[in-house]
Amino acid sequence: MTTTLIEAAYILEGFRGDEPILHRDAALVVVDGKVAEIGDKASLEIRYPDAKRIGNGRTAVVPGFVNAHHHVGLTPLQLGSLDHSLELWFATRLGLRSVDLYLDTLYSAFEMIASGVTTVQHLHSRAPGGYDGLMAASRSVLGAYRDIGMRASFSMAFRDQNRLVYEDDQAFLKRLPEDVRPALAEYFAEFGNTLDEQAAVFETLFEECRDENRLAVQLGPSNLHWLSDRALARAADLSERYQAPMHVHVLETAYQKEYAHKRAGASAVRVLADHGLLNERLTVGHGVWVTSADIEACAEAGVCLCHNCSSNFRLKSGIAPVNRFVEKGVRVAIGIDEAGINDDRDMLQEMRMVLRAHREPGIDAPSPTSANVLRMATEHGAATTPFGESIGRLTPGSNADLVLFDWDAVTYPYQSLDIAFEEVLVQRAKATSVRTVMIAGEIVYENGGFTKVDRDAVLAEIAAQLARPDTGKDQARKALSAAVLPHVKAFYRDNYRLPPRSPHYKMNDQG
Ligand SMILES: [Zn+2]
């Protein structure tokens, strides 16, 4: 039995509604990976005399954060793609260098853990090679999280159509000059995994991770345009049979809104409902272009929203109506996605983005509070994973996934005590003041170093692997990306309307 006693000036246990449950000058005891109790330090020291001691009178302890939407390690920008509208980004990303998946996963895990993330919702977008290829990719990613000690909810994307634009692959190929077609057809074939293969991958991984404490598998039906009606039904069926949560990109862009109407004459949320996916196991990723009726339907069905604030800014998706979701009682989680505002995975930074981006003008206009944002990053993020209520809070019995901040470092050289703890934490805490990160009772990060993986060696290996010149295949992919880009642009210009302007970009010439 391993026991740890954490002394702290502040312990944020969780929330009662939106009210933080805060313990002052207290201690938290961890026994065998779980929170045993929170209480008076002196009496806990007597009752647990052999416990390992960490923390001190200037420590703040909070539940570990959940990054509820994550795909890759090295960012598209690092690998050669500028930010574009999402629809063009799919094309520019065709030309990116491939990176060893194990190292790639560790790369972003370093950034996440260092900013207090203890659980990641890893949505793996694609892998070539049928069942074997998908399994190998999944095991590389899961192996990296296992080695670094991070809690992860993993899904391999479920998708069976429209691999580059919002129309059938064969139809799009016909739009291309004849000399470009073979290379894109080859790319489509490489990623043409069947639904049966994808379902088998989910089922195998689900069983493999069933007894793992820190790893779990869920479903990632990727987005309406990527899923045929058959695929939607298959995902709904698997989710029902395995009681597995699902995370779907929904209405990330205005083009996706129009796509749903072209396809089904209805909102994407309505289409998901019609195929049996709108239930308490579903998380809507992005949800930027929803209607009021969509939000009502999500609230009624107990769906979660995952808000990817930075990504929505960077990929010109727009601003999600987060305050409207909150007003209707939808649980909102936070995801950093592939395009964090600093091109990294700093959860503290992302929380501040969410705090600032939805401050509607007007004295009585709604805006998220720091407590709202903290709850999004912990309890609500947890709700989007198979771990549910076992993480995201520090009530006795919960998994001991927690972060120790050096409160002096957060508040130095001065912080008025009139400002509440959660306000100071969300508005001022930086990754540099994270002292210790514990996951399932195990310290995985301490004083800037990882305890289970050699970060310097991993980064050196990534640098060495990517220092090599482009291979012939790399060059061919870059050429393909450049060749298809104008045709992708033309496809949307010819077939889709320009997104309507939001109030943020209109002039105020009247009144
Ligand atoms: Zn995404």
pLDDT in tens, 189-205: 998 899 999 999 999 99
Q: How far is the CA of 311 from the centre of ligand 1 (A)?
A: 8
The stretch 199-222 carries a mean pLDDT of 97
The stretch 9-34 carries a mean pLDDT of 97
pLDDT in tens, 339-381: 799 999 999 999 999 999 999 999 999 999 999 999 999 999 9
pLDDT in tens, 254-310: 999 999 999 999 999 999 999 999 999 999 999 999 999 999 999 999 999 999 999
For the chain, the structural domain boundaries read 3-63+398-447, 65-385+452-458
The stretch 141-168 carries a mean pLDDT of 97
pLDDT bin (cut points 50, 70, 90) of residue 510 is low
376-28-217 Cα angle (round to 5): 45
Pick the CATH number of 65-385+452-458 from 1.10.10.10, 3.40.605.10, 3.20.20.140, 3.30.450.20: 3.20.20.140
Listing DSSP states for 286-323 in one string gives E-TT--HHHHHHHHHHT-EEEE-HHHHHHTT-----HH
At residue 78, what are phi and psi to the nearest 5 degrees? -60, -35
What pLDDT is stored for residue 3 in this prediction?
A: 97
Q: How far is the CA of 380 from the centre of ligand 1 (A)?
A: 18
Residue 258: which of 83, 10, 492 has the closest Cα?
Answer: 492
- 3-63+398-447 is classed CATH 2.30.40.10: yes
Q: How far is the CA of 7 from the centre of ligand 1 (A)?
A: 38
pLDDT bin (cut points 50, 70, 90) of residue 500 is confident
Residue 307: which of 269, 350, 362 has the closest Cα?
Answer: 350
Q: Which residues surround ligand 1, an ion (CB under 5 A)?
A: 337
Listing DSSP states for 328-377 in one string gives TT--EEE--TT--TTSS--HHHHHHHHHHHT--SSTT-----HHHHHHII
What is the signed CA dihedral for 497, 498, 502, 505, rounded to 10 degrees? -160
What CA–CA distance (Å, rounded) separates 282 from 275? 12
pLDDT in tens, 405-434: 999 999 999 999 999 999 999 999 999 999
pTM value is 0.97
Share the mean pLDDT of the chain: 96
Q: How far is the CA of 116 from the centre of ligand 1 (A)?
A: 21
Classified as helix, coil or strand, 267 is coil
Q: How far is the CA of 71 from the centre of ligand 1 (A)?
A: 7
Q: Which burial class, exposed, middle or buried, applies to 414 when counting CB atoms under 10 A from its CB (0-12, 13-18, 19+)?
A: exposed
Q: What is each CA distance from 294 to 97, 176, 299, in whole angstroms?
A: 38, 36, 9
Report CA Rg, the chain: 23
Classified as helix, coil or strand, 15 is strand
Residue 38 · residue 394 · CB < 8 Å: yes
Q: How far is the CA of 339 from the centre of ligand 1 (A)?
A: 9
pLDDT bin (cut points 50, 70, 90) of residue 497 is confident
Q: How far is the CA of 69 from the centre of ligand 1 (A)?
A: 6
For residue 486, is the peptide bond before it cis, meaning its omega torsion is within 30 degrees of 0? no
Residue 357 · residue 341 · CB < 8 Å: no
Strands (E), 375-463: 402-406, 434-439, 442-446, 449-450
With b for 16 or more beta-carbon neighbours within 10 A and e for fewer, the 84-95 pattern comes to bbbbbbbbbbbb
The stretch 153-157 carries a mean pLDDT of 97
Residue 509 clears pLDDT 90, i.e. is over it: no
What pLDDT is stored for residue 507 in this prediction?
A: 78
What pLDDT is stored for residue 220 in this prediction?
A: 97
Q: How far is the CA of 333 from the centre of ligand 1 (A)?
A: 13
pLDDT in tens, 100-120: 999 999 999 999 999 999 999
Determine the length of the chain.
Answer: 511
Residue 288 · residue 332 · CB < 8 Å: no
Q: How far is the CA of 228 from the centre of ligand 1 (A)?
A: 19
What CA–CA distance (Å, rounded) separates 23 from 9? 8
The stretch 230-244 carries a mean pLDDT of 98
